[in-house]
Chain A
Amino acid sequence: MQDKLNEIEQAALESLQSITEQAALDAWRISTLGRSSALMMVFAEFGKLSKEERPVIGAAANRVKAALEAALQIKAEALKTVVLAKSLSEEKLDITLPGRTKHIGRLHPSTQQLRRVLAILAEMGFQVYTSREVETDDINFQMLNFPLHHPARDMQDTFFVEAENRGDNPILMRTHTSPGQIHAMREFAATNPQNPPPIRIALPGMCFRYEQITARSEIQFNQVEGLAVGKNITFADLKGTIADFVRRMFGEGARLRFRASYFPFTEPSAEVDVECFVCGGKGCQVCKNSGWLEILGCGMVHPNVLQNGGYDPNVYSGFAWGMGPERQLMLRNKVNDIRYFWGNDVRFLEQF
């Protein structure tokens, strides 16, 4: 009997070896371990054995059964691996085919840039203040220290709105967001005229200039201004605040310089250049070989402007700075034609 068991085991293992398909393996399992297999017959005929033989043969039969089951499992695993490998190799995609897309929406690039600027300003404590786009001459110019017929007005060619009997106060398209300075200061000052509260605001919005529409100039553009007014604000603070802003906006290592300049509503005034981030200051087309990029204008709020806003210039001081989100994008993203912004060609918009 012992020999028979060994024979069964030997034969089964041998036939198992040549199996390469699942169906053959199933057949092997039935013929080797199934109810009518030779091995099972041994168990079935157990009763015919002597008392002495039973434990010996039983143990042997169990060992053979266990060994064959183990062999079956190993074979089954091996077959599964082979099958999987085969199917994986057959399922190889051309991964260079394009993906399936969706129609998605994006913010206009100007909105994206406005958000970047305003987010930094908000962290610095400058909160958004908005005001109207059509203004009167007095708010857009006179209150901001541009007297009537003043040469400084040449710097801001203006669109006027048809209106009669306006005298020296015509209606116009605002040429900058600075009228918001007057609106805001007056609003804040009205809350406590004797001792107006300090101000820190950001003024974003669309502005208009009478210019030919070319690759370099547009009739409308966004501006963002920062305005701080208080009792202890200095030009050194202006430099510090702008240095912080520029670092956040243009990167930790951005070098900047302050150039004396002129704006009617600030004094002293300055323009700020940041080291050209395209060429690192070496000189390139973007910075016109100067190594510097003009990025913003700034200055201490002019005493007349403080006065017009309801803040006593003998007690209060402040600073303001302004910049153009579209210009920043043009520099950042090598946009060589400002007309793209309001042209709204989706092939432009999709790139942001």
Chain B
Amino acid sequence: MTLRGEKGEIMKIPISWLKDFIDLDGLSIEDIARKLTLAGMEVDEILYAGLAMPIYKDGEKHEFKTNGIAWDREKIVVAEIREVKAHPNADRLTLLDLFDGQQDQVVLTGAPNIFDLKGTGKLAKPIKVAYAKEGSVLYDGHADGLQLMTLKRAKIRGVDSYSMVCSEKELGISTESDGIIILDDAAPVGMPLADYIGDAVLDISILPNMARNASVVGIARELSALTGRELQKPTIKFKTSGDSVEDLVSIQITNAELNPRFVAGLIRNVEIKPSAYHIQRRLKHAGQRPINNIVDATNYAMIELGQPLHAFDYDVLKERAGKKKIKISTRVASDGEKLTTLDGAERTLTPMNVLVCDEKGSLSIAGVMGGTESEVTEKTKNVLLEGAAWNFINIRRTAKQHNLPSEASFRFSRGVHPAVAETGVKRGLQYMAEWANGNIAPGLVDEYPLKPKDPTIIVTPQDVKRLLGIELTAKKIAELLTRLEFKCVVDKNTVKAKTPPHRMDIAEGVVGLADVLEEVARSYGYDNIPVTTMADALPPQVGNPIHEWEEHLRDLLVALGVQEVVTYRMTSVEKESRITQYTEYVRIANPIAPEKNVLRRSLTASVLSVLEKNIRLGESLALFEIGPIFEPVKNNLPNEPRKLAITMSGLRDATAWDVKESATLDFFDMKGRIELLLSGLRLTGVTYTSTESTPHLHPGKSAEITVNGQVLGVFGELHPSAKEKYELGASPVLVAEFDLALLRKSAPTYGIIPVPEFPPVYEDIAIIVDESVLATAVESLIKQTGGRSVSSVRLFDVYRDEKIGAGKKSLAYSLTYQAEKTMTDSDAATIRNKIVKRLENEFSAKLRS
């Protein structure tokens, strides 16, 4: 569950189009957007293209990201051009005789798309245009990007200019600024343009389980459920003539799972031309590029109903069939089969891809993209229109395989109900007939071998109470679901709800119940569901000792002045090989970059990289990270042991304006931190053993940390030849790494040492021993000899000089004598003499003082 990447695909829905199917009077655009957003169709942005925009005063709430412009109803109107005249002083400009519904105007323009009419006299049929008067606020058609401007009076080449005819860019309809908008002939002159084609476009995220709403009718249906207003479904009516399509075309489906339905219709004698302006405008708002009336009809019907359609040039198919009956079949591709798709690319196919074929070969990649040969062209006369249903997983894989995301594959890969195939084809044919004067052939070829189940789910008020926590009667449940076109039968306390034939997201059984309850909740409104606290008592609490212990460890490290870092789990062998020799790694099959193609094996390498990055940013750095490393296990899950890595470098003490000197951190600073850390964890019996077996550490300045015979970690100064591979400063770099499981398992000491009641005696002694005698051996002998009478032994000086002699050193200890009574000087002297004697015997030590 996440906040990242849960957004669906964006669907652009013009409000004007929605109004074809539902009465939205009295609802503001924000009201509509809010209702949709709360019901799971999140509106990311509202783009105004003409309709009035909300005016926010300071302190008012903005609800949506908004863009675009409103068109002033007084100043921007429909007008007609009656004549295109030459400009007296400029060849490239024209002067328009224009009527704006109230008076005649002379308007200057350089629009190329009416330039041809220059000097042709009074137009037989006036041209309807979008006319903006002085003072109109528009986008600057000549500026880069979208910049608002106010239309001002000016003299251009000696002619007074105070108004203009607009391009789409100037009105915020599209980015086109080359020519002016030429409206449909029916446009009423004088009408405010906002009333005629003013619009607002909602950018709606379509969630993966809401493929049914990737259409205007789908969104209108949801609004109907959310407002209780009636959904006015599209009326599909058309006349037919000529031979029936069933006599001319046959369909054969070889795999019903992959192709549950295939519908085709035929239209003859279409006249290919650009679509009417209001169609083009809606398509542009919906993110589609208008092509011609036939292609536009397929796209328009798809956006309206959610059913992708594909138009074939019927005569090409007829030719391929040798003028006989066209036999369409659908099948999987053979391995290596090739097809050139509409985008001009030759695709090599695999048996996962489903093809639409005729007897001569493949025509299109089913549900994804058509082939070039049979596509509709400017010369097409007769069109065979396909509307089919495909397996959504198969389409998804095919679209991914060929990297062919399209409007069609986007819808098909989320599941389009086969019932919509028929409606879609009919709607497409209807538009083709209306826009291209074609004659629709009677009938449809319709192969429908696999009908979806459209499950019937039984819902009871108890179910609603148990899972949603609200009390609803069976009647109310039925009402809520009926709004979404479920067919409901109420029988006493039970609702039988049949899934409507436009959605594929309702399963059967207990999952179906959850699916339907979600619809009950959405229809009821999430906001109307009460806020309650869980009725059950708290379950037995189960702690997480490992997590708690790690947090404690973090606190100890922070208290020791070490900064926590968190690094990428993904790294590269090259980066780690600066201090490690691993060759086996957990490798990422699809790395985002070569330097992140394996999972880290060394946490020390990770913290060293951070040290390197920051080395110039402070006089002293001490960093740690706690986290997993990844040990590969062939073809299986890796081990994820958790580690602690520490690194330090720089000055021991913070300098200040009056403290200018500090020594650099060295081995013993790291050792001191580790001692404090381990005592913070209440570990005793820690021994430090010199080690030369860690290649990235200085052999003379590294140690293993052992507790009860178990090595828990290793630390020391970074080996000079390892350090060379990093860009690190002159100061020594210290590193330490612990295995957290082992560290955690080392049992802490139980109990405390009572604070002594009697005053102790302090005494310093210095002894001279051979260089080879280890400090730790001396210390343990002192402790052993002193027993409970010596409560503390602290080495405070190590000293060498000529007087002491070559190969000798002086070790000075501060001893604390303690007894269950007041310790006297002579008591202390007795113990000291004993200690000195043993040191003399064991190490040939000589007392200095």
> Which residues does A use to contact B, with CB under 8 Å?
97-108, 110-111, 115, 125, 127-130, 132-136, 148-152, 154-157, 159-166, 171, 173, 176, 178, 197-201, 206-213, 217, 219-221, 223, 225, 228, 230-237, 239-241, 243-244, 257-263, 265-271, 281-283, 288-291, 294-300, 302-304, 313-314, 317, 320-324, 327, 341-347, 349
Contacts and interface: CB of A to CB of B under 8 A. Distances in A.
B484 to A, nearest CB: 12
Interface stretch (B3-11, B193-201, B790-798): B3-11
Contacts of A347: 617
Interface string B457-472: 0000000011111100
B567 A149 contact: no
Given A154-B208, A297-B1, A344-B565, A212 B592 contact: yes
B547 A259 contact: no
A313 B514 CA distance: 10
B735 interface: no
A235 B536 CA distance: 14
Contact of A233 (B38, B414, B534, B546): B534
B64 A150 contact: no
16 contacts: A103-B620, A105-B563, A115-B551, A130-B547, A155-B7, A162-B587, A176-B1, A234-B467, A235-B521, A240-B531, A241-B534, A259-B38, A261-B40, A262-B209, A313-B514, A317-B467
Contacts of A97: 657
Contacts of B627: 206
A344 B529 CA distance: 44
Contacts of A165: 635
A236 B469 contact: yes
Interface residues of B, number: 119
Given A240-B531, A240-B532, A297-B1, A268 B592 contact: no
B628 A133 contact: yes
A300 B592 contact: no
Nearest to B509: A303
Nearest to B518: A268
B611 to A, nearest CB: 10
Contacts of A294: 3
Closest 3 CB pairs of A and B: A236-B469, A283-B62, A234-B469
B529 A239 contact: yes
Interface in B217-237: none
B386 interface: no
B722 to A, nearest CB: 20
Nearest to A102: B654
Nearest to B512: A303
Contacts of A261: 6, 40, 42, 207
A262 B635 contact: no
A312 B680 CA distance: 46
Interface in B31-90: 37-40, 42, 56, 58-66
B2 interface: yes
A152 B393 CA distance: 11
- Of the listed residues A107, A178, A221, the one surrounded by the most CB atoms of chain B closer than 10 A to its CB is A107
A130 B540 CA distance: 18
A236 B561 contact: no
- Of the listed residues A101, A243, A259, A297, the one surrounded by the most CB atoms of chain B closer than 10 A to its CB is A259
Nearest to B617: A346
Contacts, number: 335
A261 B42 CA distance: 9
Nearest to B37: A259
Interface stretch (B164-172, B636-644, B835-843): B636-644
A233 B65 CA distance: 36
Contacts of A341: 566
Contacts of A152: 208-209
Contacts of B548: 128
- Of the listed residues B521, B614, B621, the one surrounded by the most CB atoms of chain A closer than 10 A to its CB is B521
Nearest to A234: B469
A176 B62 CA distance: 33
A313 B510 contact: yes
Contact of B413 (A101, A151, A304): A151
B560 interface: yes
B4 A217 contact: yes
Contact of B621 (A134, A159, A346): A346
A197 B640 contact: no
A9 B540 CA distance: 90
B466 A324 contact: no
B544 A128 contact: yes
A149 B393 CA distance: 6
A257 B511 CA distance: 26
B554 A107 contact: yes
B564 interface: yes
Contacts of B654: 100-103
Given A206-B569, A261-B207, A125 B538 contact: yes
B416 interface: no
Contacts of A344: 565-567, 610, 613-614, 623
A236 B514 contact: no
Given A149-B397, A289-B66, A219 B568 contact: yes
Contacts of B258: none
- Of the listed residues A107, A161, A241, A258, the one surrounded by the most CB atoms of chain B closer than 10 A to its CB is A161
B833 interface: no
Nearest to B607: A344
A134 B638 contact: yes
A176 B4 CA distance: 10
A108 B564 contact: yes
B534 A220 contact: no
B514 A303 contact: yes
B332 interface: no
B568 A161 contact: no
A206 B570 CA distance: 12
B588 interface: yes
B467 A157 contact: no
